[in-house]
Structure 1
Amino acid sequence: MSGTQKKGFFEGGFGKYLLPGILLQSVLIGGGYATGREIVSYGAKFGAKGWVAGIGILIGFAVVAVLTFEISRLYKTYDYKSMIKVLIGPAWPLFDVAYVLMMILVIAIMASASGSIVEQTTGLNYWTGVVLLVAVTGGLMFFGDALIERFETWGTVLLYAGYIIFSGMVIINGHDNITRVMATSDMSYTGETGILPVLWIGVIYVAYNLCVYPASMFSLKRQESRKQCVVSGLLAGVLMTIPWFLTYFSLMSFYPSEEVLGAQIPWLVMMNSIDAPAICSVAFGVVMGWTLIETSTGVIHALLGRINVGLTEINKKELGSKKQAVITVVILISACLMSKFGIIALIEKGYTAISYAFMVLYLVPILTIGVYKILKKEPILKVEGVPAVEESRV
């Protein structure tokens, strides 16, 4: 059309259909997949039946993504405070508490993991990885949304290339054991377990990772129809789960080895076990470090978005780029220091309780109240503190 300004790559179909899922998997992958530890706990330990948990995870991630995207489109909720007000009204501060506690725990784990992985794969000092995490994440917050979107998009290309290469090497090396595990229905690491309990473990894992969804909300402004939300949500579910399956089948190459399944960082043990070239270890360290930066960036960016909305509501100026960078660095350093003083250990003991809080405050409401609001298309004028919106149909 003449006179119409050409849209950029991120403003077209890519931004509407793929970008939200890319942002979600970017935040999830560092916290859940970088070490391989969570894939053991939430699937691989069940051996031949572990893939069932993966199916539950795929369905769960996709359903929550579709509903989150559609609620955001209808109610113009592009930060988690606005979203949660639509779902649970005056109880929204409870979500704030749960999110901040989970964020502190996740960042502390990310900082510790980044230091360990960089040290073990490149030989650099532990604190080099921690400093890199703080510096790069702070820089991303300074330059804002556009750079974050691009960093995490290119990060996804790097991460998928890395995961495909690393898992390919491991699976090719151990394909005979994978075949044996599946053929004999080996579940020796945990003992025989039914299909439904394994499937439920997948659902629980989705609940544990509900805190990643706020990280994509700022990118949802581009979505204009229900079709875009549904397709984008389904793609998000797939993008979020592919690394899970790649890691699962890699772990099956060694099942039921306690050396691998019992390791703090199973991926490092697997890479060392196949005698990969030295360059692969360095590349693995870079890829894993990137995932940890993406996760830290995502959870902090979501919090800053919520703070800016709160400032706007009381007629205050939003945080500038410098303030956002400074707050990010303070959060990262504080989380690292608090972990040394044992505060994180206290939070970690309540990790399951926090996760169940997310189920009560986000999963259950979006599956009930959220679905009701989507179907009824209630006018947002009824929801205090959120701007009115014309409800569009496909």
Structure 2
Amino acid sequence: MTGADQPAGTTSSWFQRFLLPGFAFKAVVIGGGYATGRELAEFFLPSGPWGGLAGMILATIIWSVICALTFAFARAVQAYDYRSFFKALLGPFWILFEIAYVAFVILILSVFGAAAGAIAAATMGAPPIVGTLALTVAIAGFATFGNSSVERLFKWVSFLLYGVYALFIMLALSGFGDRIAANFSIAAPADGWALGGLTYASYNIVGAVVILPVVRHMTSQRDAVTAGLVAGPLAMLPAILFFVAMIAFYPGIASETLPSDFLLRQLNLPAFHYLFQLMIFAALLESGCGAVHAINERVDTVMRIKRGSGLTPAGRATLAATLLVGCIFVADRFGLVALIGSGYRFLAYVILAVYVVPLIALGLPRLIRHVERPIETVSVLESNT
């Protein structure tokens, strides 16, 4: 079933209304945000232990506020894919977000591919392309069957992820908790935390529009705001646990390509090492599925308007595979550290300009005035597809 098949407010469970959006947002954020720990090293470790935590709290607040506004605006204009959303928000300038989103997808899928390759090399000694291809096949497989398949993935991977991260922090505290406490007392430079938090939040917040298909489960604007406010902490909690563990080896860990693998080697627990790397692969899988599924839903909406029928499973699989195979070559060419260091900061400013600023400047006033125009959204889609 696609987003067009099920209107908002149709027999939705409490989980679908309040927790699924947060789990879905976390799913998109974690792969491009902190699954390997590389992003935490890039944006938060330079500000030291306490400065890094301050930046993460700032990012959490930004995520919650923007998710709440995004979900509420999406319900107001009945937009359950990113294209419909930006047609309603930006009018004829909606294409600016489309360009930014395509760049975002190319970047994060490339990062995911590079990360999967690094995991395969670190855990099995296999050529990186093995891990990258395995991730590609898995993403295409889940994206083939639409919302129901992707939402089940978000749900079950979330249980695995939170459980593994909880076990990870307990093992880290047991294994090198004294080092964590000692390094939190280091007089480290705490400047730059606000910029780090803002940058990190900005390029990841695009996840709020990536997961718009799940907004159809919400039955009221109160649902939308509540789910949005909860989404920030749900997405950031595992990152904070990860960051605390990383502090045991601060500042040297900042130079590690895969901080997660470095920490696991220090724990010296082979069984947990493989479990954690499996969890990271699952996190990359759900993040990649979220990004690809958003494009599938965008194409599906246009096809339903133009032809009266949406994407078939074969069409979804073909589109997903085309995106993924193209990004493999980007990942192989540039590598994980270079992709994160050079691409994410630029993308953060673009997302701020074409999404966050217009949402606050244009979308929020419409919400305050209680303007709900689902008919306008449909007419815009029909006039410029």
Q: TM-score with structure 1 length normalisation?
A: 0.87
In the TM superposition, what is the alpha-carbon distance from 1:40 to its structure 2 partner? Answer: 1.6
In the TM superposition, what is the alpha-carbon distance from 1:134 to its structure 2 partner? Answer: 1.6
Alpha-carbon distance between aligned partners in 1 of 2:352 and 2:18, rounded to the nearest angstrom: 26
8 Å Cα contact 2:114/2:335 also seen in 1: no
The alignment of Structure 1 onto Structure 2 pairs a total of residues equal to 369
8 Å Cα contact 2:172/2:245 also seen in 1: yes
User: Which of 178, 190, 193 is matched with 2:190 structurally?
Assistant: 193
Write out per-residue CA displacement over residues 79-111 of structure 1, whole angstroms, 9 at most, x where no aligned residue: 001111222111111111111111011111111
| Letter paired with 2:345 | T
1:91-240 paired onto structure 2 within 5 Å: 91-182=93-184, 184-187=185-188, 192-194=189-191, 197-240=192-235
1:1-394 paired onto structure 2 within 5 Å: 11-45=12-46, 46-182=48-184, 184-187=185-188, 192-194=189-191, 197-256=192-251, 258=252, 260-275=253-268, 277-315=269-307, 317-340=309-332, 349=342, 351-380=344-373, 381=375, 384-385=379-380
In the TM superposition, what is the alpha-carbon distance from 1:200 to its structure 2 partner? Answer: 3.1
8 Å Cα contact 1:118/1:285 also seen in 2: no
Write out per-residue CA displacement over residues 38-79 of structure 1, whole angstroms, 9 at most, x where no aligned residue: 112222332232211011011011001111111111111100
Partner SS for 2:18: helix
Could you tell me which runs of 5 or more consecutive residues in structure 1 were left unpaired when the two chains were aligned: 1-9, 388-394
| Letter paired with 2:84 | S
Alpha-carbon distance between aligned partners in 1 of 2:340 and 2:153, rounded to the nearest angstrom: 30
| Letter paired with 1:98 | A
In the TM superposition, what is the alpha-carbon distance from 1:320 to its structure 2 partner? Answer: 0.7
Write out per-residue CA displacement over residues 281-320 of structure 1, whole angstroms, 9 at most, x where no aligned residue: 2112211111111111110111111112233343463211
Alpha-carbon distance between aligned partners in 1 of 2:274 and 2:186, rounded to the nearest angstrom: 35
Shift in alpha-carbon separation, 1:342–1:271, aligned structure 2, 3 A:
closer
2:6 is matched with: none
Shift in alpha-carbon separation, 1:290–1:316, aligned structure 2, 3 A:
same
Q: TM-score with structure 2 length normalisation?
A: 0.89
Alpha-carbon distance between aligned partners in 2 of 1:60 and 1:150, rounded to the nearest angstrom: 27
Partner SS for 2:211: helix
Shift in alpha-carbon separation, 1:135–1:262, aligned structure 2, 3 A:
same
The Cα RMSD (Å) is 2.3
8 Å Cα contact 1:47/1:186 also seen in 2: no
Partner SS for 1:253: helix
Alpha-carbon distance between aligned partners in 2 of 1:156 and 1:317, rounded to the nearest angstrom: 32
Write out per-residue CA displacement over residues 189-232 of structure 1, whole angstroms, 9 at most, x where no aligned residue: xxx234xx412321221111122222321011111212211221
Alpha-carbon distance between aligned partners in 2 of 1:83 and 1:103, rounded to the nearest angstrom: 18
| Letter paired with 1:67 | L
Shift in alpha-carbon separation, 1:327–1:382, aligned structure 2, 3 A:
closer
8 Å Cα contact 2:117/2:132 also seen in 1: yes
8 Å Cα contact 1:31/1:110 also seen in 2: yes
Partner SS for 1:326: helix
Alpha-carbon distance between aligned partners in 2 of 1:386 and 1:347, rounded to the nearest angstrom: 34
Shift in alpha-carbon separation, 1:351–1:237, aligned structure 2, 3 A:
closer
Shift in alpha-carbon separation, 1:104–1:123, aligned structure 2, 3 A:
same
- Find the structure with the greater CA-based Rg: 1
Alpha-carbon distance between aligned partners in 2 of 1:185 and 1:48, rounded to the nearest angstrom: 10
Partner SS for 1:314: helix
Shift in alpha-carbon separation, 1:339–1:180, aligned structure 2, 3 A:
closer
8 Å Cα contact 1:138/1:328 also seen in 2: yes
8 Å Cα contact 2:52/2:190 also seen in 1: no
| Letter paired with 1:230 | V
Alpha-carbon distance between aligned partners in 2 of 1:346 and 1:62, rounded to the nearest angstrom: 27
